[in-house]
Amino acid sequence: MPKVYNWQIGREMEYPYEGVRPQKQFAMIMDTNKCIACQTCTVACKTTWTSGRGQEAMFWNNVETKPYGYYPLGWDVKILDKLGVQDISGPVYQGKTLFESAPAGERILGYLPDDLDYAHPNIGEDDSTGLMEQGAFLQVPHMQWMYYLPRICNHCTYAACLGSCPRQSIYKRPEDGIVLLDQQRCRGYRECVRGCPYKKTHFNPMTRVSEKCIGCYPAVENNRQTQCTITCIGKIRTQGFIAPPDKAREDNPIDYIVHVAKVAKPLYPQFGLEPNVYYIPPVHVPPQYLYQMFGWGVEKAIENYRKAPEDKKLLGALLLFGATPEIIHHYKVEGRYTIGYDEKDGELVRVPLKEPIYLRVVYDDKYQTHRSNIT
């Protein structure tokens, strides 16, 4: 197998194809601390793309409660169990990736979910890790915890679906790095469903071929962020493009958050796919769990996130989440504002770093009444 460089694990690794990075790489950042699992993103995606026959239980976007929510059932614990205990204690991953763990005659270590695994898309919703004992008190990390994990296809640099397909029905677009599954070429072998550890390729029993998240490419081609991003009522997401660390641009909000401030982390980087959806880890969850899920450096990410009010550039990048439906290519913090720009330097949006506060008098002369809320 050819060797490719995966910056998320800090080393070269095996991949079925030569490593060629796209001109631009589709990327998304999701702040898990802000997600309330309202599923608006899920519904936006569903009504846009997967409302047809055979797509009844298919969610290209889903939001699950961690640690006990899964779609499909047990997707991450099953593959983690197969991969076994690995060493993720430093910036250079010492363990094995899924490609390096491929059994003889296979392209990748994977498994095919059962049909019924897709039958409970919101299983484990709001389930916490355990009961609170008598005398419990609030502490951080929390004694008992849960959080919400919104998920889409990661449009991986080294996509396992693409690497698993024996007839090259899946391709990565050179112009934006979006991974697409050719609906005419696919023969429904389900190798991609086996191979993708995130289980974000889905089989459609009516068309008898597989389907996957298309990164809302018709929107992205028109400089518009994805449906799941622009409909997010909590403004937890931003979508744009990411550069590899050696080409990171400080004025790209995604590059700044991921590469400079190192606040957002990939999901299960140890799998070796270099996924391009990044998560700001939940601040209240014990780090042992977060290490496993987001890899090395997760404590530093939380520390830096907490210091965002002191880092104007980080604050400015974070405040651009959900501020505009257009894709922000670069930004700058100027005075009291953070300003997002499109690819041609046109101003897209201007967000105040500090929400202005207006104080109103307690007694309203016009209506001759007292106000209960004056801010």
Partner 1 sequence: MNRVYQLLAAAAMAVAVAPAFPAETALQAIRVKGHGPILDVESAMWIQAKPVNVVMLPQTVATPNNTKPAVSELKVRAVHNGQWLALLIEWKDPTKSDRIVVDEFGDQVAVEFPIQSKPGAMPSPMMGNSGGRVNILQWRAAFQHDIDKGEPQVRDLYPNAVVDLYPDQVLRTADARPYTGALGVDNPISRPKASPVLDQMAEGFGSMTVKPDQHADGKGVWKDGMWHVVITTPMATESANSPRFEPGGSTVAAFAVWEGGSREVGSRKAWSSWVPLKFAK
Among candidates 167, 214, 176, 208, which has minimal Cα distance to 61? 214
Give the count of residues interacting with partner 1 (CB under 8 A).
42
Question: Concatenated DSSP letters for 295-341?
Answer: -TTHHHHHHHHHTGGG-HHHHHHHHTTTS-SBPP-EEEEETTEEEEE
The count of other CB atoms within 10 Å of the CB of residue 36 is: 11
> For the window 145-174, what string marks contact with partner 1 as x by the rule CB under 8 A?
-------------------x-xxx------
Q: What is the rounded CA–CA span in Å between residue 118 and residue 207? A: 17
Indicate left, alpha or beta for 208 from its phi (over 0: left) and psi (-120 to 50: alpha). Answer: left
19, 205, 244, 325: which one binds partner 1 (CB under 8 A): 205
Q: According to the binding rule CB under 8 A, does residue 190 interact with partner 1?
A: yes
Pick from 151, 127, 148, 173: nearest CA to 22:
173
**Which of these segments, 150-158, 180-188, 235-243, 251-259, binds partner 1 (CB under 8 A)?**
180-188
Q: How far is the CB of 33 from partner 1 (least distance, A)?
A: 34
Q: From the list 68, 189, 217, 291, which residue makes contact with partner 1 (rule: CB under 8 A)?
A: 189
Residues in the chain: 375
**Residue span 43-82 as binding mask against partner 1, x where in contact by CB under 8 A, dash where not:** --------xxxxxx--------------------------
State how far the Cα of 108 lies from the Cα of 204, in Å rounded to an integer. Answer: 22
Phi then psi dihedrals of residue 240, to 5 deg: -165, -135
Q: Which residues contact 59 (CB under 8 A, 6 or more apart)?
A: 42, 45, 46, 50, 71, 121
**Residue 14 within binding range of partner 1, rule CB under 8 A:** no
Q: Does 203 bind partner 1 (CB under 8 A)?
A: yes
Closest distance to partner 1 from the beta carbon of 325 (Å) = 22
Residues in contact with partner 1, shown as a per-residue x/- string from 107 to 146 under the rule CB under 8 A: x----xxxx--x----------------------------
Residues that bind partner 1 (CB under 8 A): 1-2, 16-18, 51-56, 104-107, 112-115, 118, 164, 166-168, 183-184, 186-191, 193, 202-209, 211
